[in-house]
């Protein structure tokens, strides 16, 4: 079920990106996870990101040292993984992090370039984010650290 939700979300996101600007679509791409059009992203030089969400409050900090998911009640550490990007798109447009916890449960973090508001302040963030863990889907905003 978890894999289906993640796969359906990534497929929908990829399709939306390709249809929004078909002239940039790459017709020869690598396959990843059930033939969805995703290819390995290029090295981003160790860029660090902070992702925040409200209602409920949560955050994710991404650095080469690791990826940390936090809520006011808990904290979960993941090893750093190189993000993947939508095929035929700039590496900075969409980043997908496949996170595997020590108990082998996989979560997915999708960060997409585009203006985002956290709904609680007037701050505009350069990225929007979706975090999927089990049957839970959280939305938020992201910025460079």
Please report where in the chains the tokens 């017709």 appear, as a residue: 27
Measure CA of the first residue to CA of the last residue in the chain; give whole Å: 33
Q: Which domain holds residue 135?
A: 2-144
What long-range pairs does 121-129 form, CB within 8 A, spacing at least 24? Answer: 127/49, 127/51, 129/51, 129/53, 129/60
Helix (H) or strand (E) holding 79: none
CA distance 94 to 91: 7
Q: How is residue 39 written in tokens?
A: 């290819």
**Residue 139: how many CB atoms within 10 A of its CB?**
14
Confidence of residue 46 (pLDDT cuts 50, 70, 90): low
Among 12-21, 81-90, 100-109, 110-119, which stretch is predicted with the lowest mean pLDDT? 12-21
Overall domain count for the chain: 1
């Amino acid at each position: 079920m978890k894999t289906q939700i993640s796969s359906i979300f990534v497929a929908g996101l990829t399709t939306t990106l390709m249809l929004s600007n078909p002239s940039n679509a790459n017709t020869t791409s690598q396959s990843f996870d059930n033939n969805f059009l995703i290819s390995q992203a290029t090295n981003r030089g160790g860029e660090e990101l902070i992702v925040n969400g409200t209602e409920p409050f949560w955050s994710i900090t991404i650095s080469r040292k690791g990826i940390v998911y936090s809520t006011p009640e808990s904290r979960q550490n993941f090893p750093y993984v190189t993000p993947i990007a939508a095929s035929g798109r700039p590496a900075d447009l969409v980043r997908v992090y496949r996170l595997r916890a020590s108990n082998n449960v996989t979560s997915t973090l999708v960060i997409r370039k585009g203006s985002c508001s956290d709904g609680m302040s007037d701050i505009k963030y350069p990225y929007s984010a979706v975090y999927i863990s089990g049957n839970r889907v959280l939305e938020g905003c992201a910025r460079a650290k």
